Amino acid sequence: MKTFCFPLLLSLITITTMAQFSPALGPPQAGTAAIPLRTIDFAFITNLVKLGLDRAVVNINKKIDSNASSSGVNANLSYRIKSVHPAYKQTEWTTYPNSMFVQLRIWVEYTIGDIRYHNVPYFSRKLFQWINVEAWCDKWQTNEGKNRLTYTAEKPYLDEASFGEQALNFFVGSTLISYVDSKLSNSLSNGMASGELPIASQPCNCLNFKRGTAPTHADGYVGFYYFPVRKIAIEALYSDPVLRLLSIKRIATVGEILLDTQDLQIEYMANFDKGIMQPKPIAENETVAFKKEYSVKFEHPNPYNRLVVTVNVTVLNQQMRIYSGFLHFEKEQKFGEGVQKLTIMREVWRPTSTGPDGRPIKPYTSLMPAYELEFDIKYTKPKRY
């Protein structure tokens, strides 16, 4: 049994997406009247990051001091958090349905002060770094969703000023950046540039956040919500909708040498329900119509407000290459009822060539059709009570 938030209190988070990835299915955004099961203050999240920064800066300064005799560099590193930017974001997966999360983008400014190179003083320099903390309701679409905090530390970058001393410039622009990159990663969690921050796990199936006051948004928070299953579940109103795979066509790609026949595996998903099959080997420009029924029964998309059909085609005899595509249908489109076609694109590398005017054209990639799949999506009318 799937769990969803009450429609009178909630609405799905929507954002504009690019064609390469499908729009998110959820989790739903809790309404302002809803009371969160748990909140995590942005100030608390920022302090977790600060603890890692404090440890990293102490270790870096020790490293600079211990290397001073060989490097000739004396300096002191300090930092401040300049601003925090909370926002809703969505994943950009191409092989699986996408979800929303709350991102806290933290801008850190490092100051390299008290710089002396072989006892000659220099002006201070600045390093900048973005640290992204993401709040998730993991597996929100099930009845067993849990809250999580993950982070990604981007590589630090140097301001534009130059020292004029090549050795000192190299130390600050390369060695010190590497120190910050590695020491911060070690201090945050697991020694990696990305990982998970330690918080107690609690159930959730909806998400929201309060922005708070700029620039640090310390009075803001992310809220995790858990709403019980409706007394009348949506599944009781409909019999199982069905997505049936009818055919696949392999489209010839101009300018690329491919296998005469391909052994394919097709994974097809209707929102979070999926099926998998392997057709007979297929040649270029061949269409294989399926006499046997390959279908998947899926949960009615009404709770998600949309149906996303995701397809992954794996070429088993060509280094397990995966080509993905999707279709999505809103409620106003009757959730895609009827026969639908999906064209999956592939990236083709174009080598150096000569243009019509005789000038060389640099290598580039372009998208070309690779496969065309046909589906039949069927729904039954609601039962009358």
The model's pLDDT over 111-141, given as tens digits with 9 standing for 90+, comes to 988 988 888 888 888 888 999 999 999 999 9
Rounded-to-integer distance, Cα 150 and Cα 199, Å: 10
Q: Which residue matches tokens 């998970």?
A: 196
Please give the distance of CA 243 from its chain centroid, rounded to a whole number: 26
Q: Does the structure show a pLDDT above 90 at 308?
A: yes
Least confident range from 37-41, 67-71, 155-159: namely 155-159
Rounded-to-integer distance, Cα 77 and Cα 127, Å: 10
Q: Which residue matches tokens 């190179």?
A: 117
The model's pLDDT over 5-38, given as tens digits with 9 standing for 90+, comes to 433 333 333 333 334 889 999 999 888 778 888 9
Tell me whether the omega of the peptide bond preceding residue 27 falls within 30 degrees of 0, making it cis: yes
What stretch of H or E contains 100? strand 100-117
Residue 222 is which amino acid?
V
Residue with the larger pLDDT of the pair 304 and 340: 340
Please give the distance of CA 52 from its chain centroid, rounded to a whole number: 24
Q: Which residue matches tokens 């920022």?
A: 46
Taking the CA atoms of 365, 22, 328 and 246 in sequence, report the sign of the dihedral they define: positive
Q: How confident is the model at residue 186 (pLDDT cuts 50, 70, 90)?
A: low
Q: How confident is the model at residue 3 (pLDDT cuts 50, 70, 90)?
A: very low
pLDDT in the model for residue 239: 65
Rounded-to-integer distance, Cα 198 and Cα 187, Å: 13
Average per-residue pLDDT in the chain? 84
The backbone torsions φ and ψ at residue 201, rounded to the nearest 5 degrees and listed phi first, read -85, 135
pLDDT in the model for residue 238: 56
Least confident range from 87-91, 148-152, 163-167: namely 163-167
The model's pLDDT over 325-343, given as tens digits with 9 standing for 90+, comes to 999 999 899 999 999 999 9
Would you mind telling me the total number of residues written for the chain in this entry?
A: 385
What stretch of H or E contains 369? strand 364-378
Please give the full DSSP string across 286-299, using - where no structure is assigned: -EEEEEEEEEEE--
Q: Does the structure show a pLDDT above 60 at 358?
A: yes
Residue 254 is classified by DSSP as: T
